[in-house]
Structure 1
Amino acid sequence: MTDILFTPVALNERIELKNRILMAPLTRCMADDALVPTQAMVDYYARRADAGLIISEATIIRPDGQGYPNTPGIFTQAQIAGWRKVTDAVHENGGKIFAQLWHTGRVAHPHFWGGTEVIAPSAVGVEGTVPRMRELTYLVPREATALEIAQLVEDYAKAAENAIEAGFDGVEIHGANGYMIDEFLHYDSNRREDEFGGSPENMVCFPLQVVDAVTSRIGAARTALRISPAAYFNIEPDPRDRAVFDLLLSELDTRELAYLHGGIFDDSVHYDYLDGRVSEYLRRHSRHTLVGVGSYDAETAAAAIATNKFDVIAIGRPFIANHDYVARVREGAELKPYSDELLPVLY
């Protein structure tokens, strides 16, 4: 029933995956205090190189992008060197790995970089406290200026360049799940009245500038994107968002990408304003290779791929519990169950 998962797939002329099982990006908060990948991270990723592609844990593009403790960066030479050890180990084990590039936007916290403020599309905050550091309360961000937005675009492009220097096979731009890029794409978090807000045409401007800058720097064949047309996280739903994502996807269809990845926690959820599941919406509106994600197991993912609902599957928590997930699925072996008790250790 799962044979289709073990067929190779070409993302483009440059990159072919040995199977259709991707390791989803999984934030583990295990970098050192300088946000440099550790030897434990090297071993963790190397053990999972049987995946057709590993997508790294979200990796911050610059200091003020940090919103969680000990999340790795890719903006210093020490961080690049640390990631090089990871990518070398993955490649030695026959795997491929993309870096997920991340700025947390309005859920960043200046505690991490010794600052005093946070920037975001608009001065609209979220309630609550920083995960794993409940003593830190979120701040109301300051609206980023046009010059600061231009600098963000450059910093995404530089981070992509750094990722290639670190040996990654490509990058996935994290444009999903309520972080900086995603915040520009939703009316709740983007209340600007300039060229970056107020209409679908303006709201897609910054995300597309990032995509274009990254592809210009490292090539479209090595550039992927994750987006969240629904599955709201730290953002209130607004039916007007549909027009924003319709336009974004039509614009992306004029560009080349390695793949498009839906940022969704449960793809069984039906969204009325999307006329179905997130994966269904993306399949209808995008010509790109589509990564399915969200509560699939090997059997349901194989069935979805066989019926052309998406092309490859990203598996998350089962990869935390099973470093040999691909082998277990291939052999029909029982999987170890995931539990939160596994989070403090890189197994």
Structure 2
Amino acid sequence: MPSLFDPIQLGAISAPNRVIMAPLTRGRGTKDHVPTEIMIEYYRQRASAGLIISEATGISRQGLGWPFAPGLWSDEQVEKWKPITKAVHDAGGRIVAQLWHMGRQVHSSVTGEQPVSSSATATDGQAHTYEGKKPFETARPLSLDEIPALLDDYERATRNALAAGFDGVQVHGANGYLIDEFLRDNANFRDDQYGGSVENRIRLMVEVVERVVSVAGKDRTSIRLSPNGDSQGVNDSDPAPLFTAAAKALDEIGISFLELREPGPEGTFGRTDVPKLSPEIRKVFKGPLILNSDYVTAEEAQAVIDAGTADAVSFGRTFLANPDLPARLKAGAPLNPMNPATMYSQGPEGYTDYPALETQDA
């Protein structure tokens, strides 16, 4: 079996190891969702990852409700992403852009409009806004005649990502956001061709991925899904047939890799007793499969590779606090603890000031 530190081919991307950096929202952009200079150093520091999957990045103003998160719909955003991707490449790294539409997780105080979703539903709890926490709002269903414009937004964001120097794109289809809201039956009550049957509920996901592939190519397109258990209020009554059908459709398209966020009963951020579906998905998706959620040690990651369940593992919060994570894991070195208070704050604290191992040893 391959080692966590062996190279892997992810479509057109040759990754030098299987320690993947998961997408991590950090909120260091401007209020207009433009990347900032501090982000250059943050991503450069983490270039030793086999592949960096960028923080979730908005495809449109409608779809981006997270304060200070970056987007990819304007020329200004493209220009400010360019030095970030260049810094990663100059440091020997690889980076893809994760394309994000937040669906009903958007708040109108951020976007200036009512959130949209598969159906008229709302998330429990409160949204992050520029004015602090506010109750989530009820979304309006996307109409059929709005779907083409949504696909156009994904196409534009893909073109912009490539123009900005990204090595590819990942569609965010997980975590209770728009695509997930179409996939799962406790959020999708539509009676048209995008609702009801499994075939209909995976339709938007397939159309989005096909549109992205038409620009980036299948060997530079991937997707993230969260198949087991509740995710920000989105769930499914029978997830196995749904997500195996989704994975089979993605396999037929031939995307470069599939990433699964699969929490377990002991998860730190989100937990569930719903069994992990990666073994079933593995049977129908033949491309590289990357697993995510609460992996911390090299031993934990190597175990799923040895079992044949995964080809690589993506690390999230561990990468946040350890910019040189592959070296630390390989050496069995101690890990920096994460400071939750600075996860979404502005400025360098808890962002670019986590020390590298060589600095600590000096």
The aligned counterpart of 1:78 is 76
Give the Cα–Cα distance (whole angstroms) in 1 for the partners of residues 341 and 207 of structure 2.
40
SS of residue in 1 equivalent to 2:29: coil
Give the Cα–Cα distance (whole angstroms) in 1 for the partners of residues 78 and 182 of structure 2.
28
Contact 1:271 1:278 in 2 (8 A): no
Partner of residue 18 from structure 1, selected from 16, 19, 27: 16
| CA shift for structure 1 position 330 | 2.2
Distance 1:220 1:89, change over 3 A: same
Letter in 2 for 1:212: E
Contact 1:267 1:293 in 2 (8 A): no
Contact 2:265 2:272 in 1 (8 A): no
Provide, for residues 283-330 of structure 1, a one-character-per-residue CA deviation record: whole Å limited to 9, x for no partner. Answer: 233212100111122111012212211001101111111111122222
Contact 2:261 2:291 in 1 (8 A): no
Partner of residue 116 from structure 2, selected from 107, 119, 133: 119
The aligned counterpart of 2:328 is 328
Distance 1:308 1:57, change over 3 A: same
The aligned counterpart of 1:282 is 281
Instruction: Give the alignment of 1:75-114 within 5 angstroms.
Output: 75-114=73-112
Moved more, 145-154 or 235-244: 235-244
Give the Cα–Cα distance (whole angstroms) in 1 for the partners of residues 260 and 253 of structure 2.
17
The reply to whether residue 193 of structure 1 matches residue 191 of structure 2 is: yes
| CA shift for structure 1 position 237 | 3.6
The reply to whether residue 316 of structure 1 matches residue 313 of structure 2 is: no
SS of residue in 2 equivalent to 1:314: strand
Give the Cα–Cα distance (whole angstroms) in 1 for the partners of residues 257 and 206 of structure 2.
15
Provide, for residues 132-159 of structure 1, a one-character-per-residue CA deviation record: whole Å limited to 9, x for no partner. Answer: 6544221111111111122111211211
> Normalising by structure 2, what TM-score?
0.89
| CA shift for structure 1 position 258 | 1.0
Contact 2:117 2:181 in 1 (8 A): yes
State, as a whole percentage, how many aligned pairs show the same letter.
38
| CA shift for structure 1 position 268 | 6.8
Contact 1:62 1:75 in 2 (8 A): yes
Letter in 2 for 1:40: I
| CA shift for structure 1 position 228 | 1.5
Distance 1:336 1:281, change over 3 A: same
Partner of residue 251 from structure 2, selected from 244, 250, 253: 253
Give the Cα–Cα distance (whole angstroms) in 1 for the partners of residues 46 and 265 of structure 2.
24
Give the Cα–Cα distance (whole angstroms) in 1 for the partners of residues 214 and 146 of structure 2.
20
> Normalising by structure 1, what TM-score?
0.93
The aligned counterpart of 2:290 is 291
The aligned counterpart of 1:240 is 238
Contact 2:35 2:81 in 1 (8 A): yes
Contact 2:282 2:309 in 1 (8 A): yes
Give the Cα–Cα distance (whole angstroms) in 2 for the partners of residues 238 and 200 of structure 1.
11
Is there any run of 5+ residues in structure 1 with no aligned partner, and where?
none
The aligned counterpart of 2:6 is 7
Provide, for residues 5-30 of structure 1, a one-character-per-residue CA deviation record: whole Å limited to 9, x for no partner. Answer: 21111123x22101111111000111
Give the Cα–Cα distance (whole angstroms) in 1 for the partners of residues 46 and 136 of structure 2.
35
Superposition RMSD on alpha carbons, in Å?
Answer: 2.0
SS of residue in 1 equivalent to 2:313: strand
